[in-house]
Amino acid sequence: MPGPLLHLGATVLCAHGGSATPTAPNPRVLVSGQPSVVMSPPYVVAGCPFNVSGSPVPCVTAQWVVAATRVFSSGQPLVLMDSQAICAPNGTPLLAVAAQTRVIGS
């Protein structure tokens, strides 16, 4: 499904509200003047408050599992706002909350 491309300045959160940022932005494709994001490098999650029965199990990293099917950079699919990622160690999703809306990919 088509959607806006994610970039370094996009707001991405884990399902519990922790802030997620890409470990290796893609400098070859700029969107709104900022590097885009490809599927392969993980995101790091900071500030996740997830707690199960008194034992903290916060999101630490996340990996994209679904990304663009037609838009690539350096042989890697670019990440779209509706792409899907899974957080480790608890398996919850990442949520792209805000991104640029000028460049759409599919």
Q: Is residue 94 part of a domain?
A: no
Domain membership flag for residue 72: yes
Buried b / exposed e along 51-81 (16+ C-beta atoms within 10 A)? eeeeeeebbbbbebeebbeebebeebbbbbb
Domain count, the chain: 1
Q: What is the DSSP string of 37-51?
A: -BSSSPEEEE----E
Q: Tell me if 22 is assigned to some domain.
A: yes
pLDDT value, residue 69 = 96
Burial bucket for residue 82 (CB in 10 Å: 0-12, 13-18, 19+) = middle
In a domain, residue 103? The reply is: no
Q: What is the pLDDT of residues 68-99, one digit of tens each?
A: 999 999 999 999 999 999 999 999 999 999 99
pLDDT of 43 strictly over 90: yes
Would you say residue 48 lies in a domain? yes
Compute the average pLDDT of residues 42-65: 92
Provide the domain limits for residue 31.
3-78
d(CA 12, CA 39): 14
Q: What is the pLDDT of residues 18-40, one digit of tens each?
A: 999 999 999 999 999 999 999 99
Backbone φ, ψ for residue 40 (5° rounding)? -70, -45
Residue 35 is assigned to a structural domain of this protein: yes
Q: What pLDDT shows up at residue 55? A: 80
Q: pTM of this prediction?
A: 0.93
8 assigned to some structural domain? yes
Residue 84 lies in a domain: no
